[in-house]
């Protein structure tokens, strides 16, 4: 039996959704694993530095309400990913390993930033991150926050709408019909194309550097994310989205590396709860930037 997860002093037992997620993750990575993972290499000094800071506290599971018996099924077209989706895996506070279980390939600069952020958090003085300023946190963080999102789709664009932060991730699939924005955006500029039944999305041109997760795994403003998104039909009432994200950022990593996530079909969460981020900005009853500490500039 899997152990209970402790969140805010409350024990939460991994739900059937979490167990489904483990199966989904296995299926999701089967094609890549068929080629075999790269051999595990000795930890570099940068990886040893991050390891010395201690492990992440781990993830937690949020149990969504049960599916409605008359809930609509997703469209049969594998290129139709519309609908509401939600994690069927536990949230990871720090992306410490790639999809094969190897340690993230930090450069020394990347490792030093991770360790600095970990130490600040554990000393009770966490650093300000983009979301603390109510700024869009970036596609990877939005996807990993264990909140539902709804996908809308047209022939020219695909839009992910998140409950958390009122987030929007817009993917252009027809650049001729939707011109590139004149300015860089916090969520970057995303252009996608279909490779068979897989949507391949390249996201770059970020307005500023960002955190890839809650604990501060970094991505520079010049970094690039490549997402491979596909809808997997299990033949039952719980299809899922598989999203493999490749992180390419020579500033903080010695080579590109990939993580995989899966999201279950949850039409009963299409009605998003209200989320109020703005109350911490300019509210005299709370500290500026939610009481976080400005991070030193490198």
What are the tens digits of pLDDT across the range 119-158? 988 888 888 888 777 889 999 999 998 889 999 999 999 9
What are the tens digits of pLDDT across the range 197-251? 999 999 999 999 999 998 999 999 999 999 999 999 877 657 899 999 999 999 9
Cα–Cα distance, 2 to 251 (Å, whole number): 38
12-26, 117-131, 254-268: least confident range: 12-26
Q: Tell me if 245 sits within 8 A of 258, measured CB to CB.
A: yes
Cα–Cα distance, 201 to 253 (Å, whole number): 20
With CA atoms as reference, report the closest residue to 223 among 201, 202, 198: 202
Backbone angles phi, psi at 169, to 5 degrees: -120, 115
What are the tens digits of pLDDT across the range 83-124? 999 988 878 889 989 999 999 999 999 999 999 999 988 888
Instruction: Give residue 168's pLDDT.
Output: 93
Cα–Cα distance, 46 to 97 (Å, whole number): 14
Question: Which tokens in the block code for residue 249?
Answer: 């950022």
10-19, 45-54, 157-166, 279-288: least confident range: 10-19
> What value does the mean pLDDT take over residues 50-74?
71
pTM: 0.81
């Amino acid at each position: 039996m899997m152990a209970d997860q402790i969140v805010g002093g409350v024990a939460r037992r991994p739900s059937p959704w979490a167990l489904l997620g483990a199966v989904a993750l296995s299926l999701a990575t089967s094609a890549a694993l068929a080629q075999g993972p790269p051999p595990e290499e000795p930890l570099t000094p940068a990886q040893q530095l991050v390891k010395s800071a201690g492990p992440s506290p781990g993830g937690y599971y949020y149990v969504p309400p049960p599916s409605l018996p008359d809930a609509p099924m997703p469209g049969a077209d594998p290129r139709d990913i519309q609908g509401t989706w939600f994690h069927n895996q536990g949230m990871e506070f720090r992306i410490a390993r790639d999809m094969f279980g190897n340690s993230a390939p930090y450069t020394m600069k990347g490792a030093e930033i991770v360790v600095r952020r970990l130490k600040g958090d554990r000393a009770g003085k966490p650093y300000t991150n983009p979301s603390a300023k109510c700024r869009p946190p970036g596609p990877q963080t939005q996807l990993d926050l264990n909140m539902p999102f709804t996908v809308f789709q047209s022939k020219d664009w695909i839009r992910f709408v998140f409950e958390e932060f009122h987030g929007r991730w817009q993917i252009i699939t027809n650049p001729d019909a939707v011109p590139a924005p004149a300015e860089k955006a916090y969520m970057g500029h995303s252009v996608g194309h279909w490779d068979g039944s897989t949507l391949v999305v390249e996201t770059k041109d970020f307005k500023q550097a960002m955190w890839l997760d809650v604990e501060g795994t970094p991505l520079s403003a010049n970094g690039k994310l490549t997402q491979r998104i596909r809808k997997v039909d299990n033949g039952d009432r719980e299809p899922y989205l598989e999203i493999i994200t490749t992180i390419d950022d020579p500033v903080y990593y010695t080579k590109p590396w990939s993580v995989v996530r899966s999201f279950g079909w949850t039409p009963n969460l299409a009605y998003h709860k209200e989320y109020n981020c703005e109350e911490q900005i300019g509210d005299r009853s709370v500290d500026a930037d939610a009481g976080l500490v400005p991070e030193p500039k490198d």
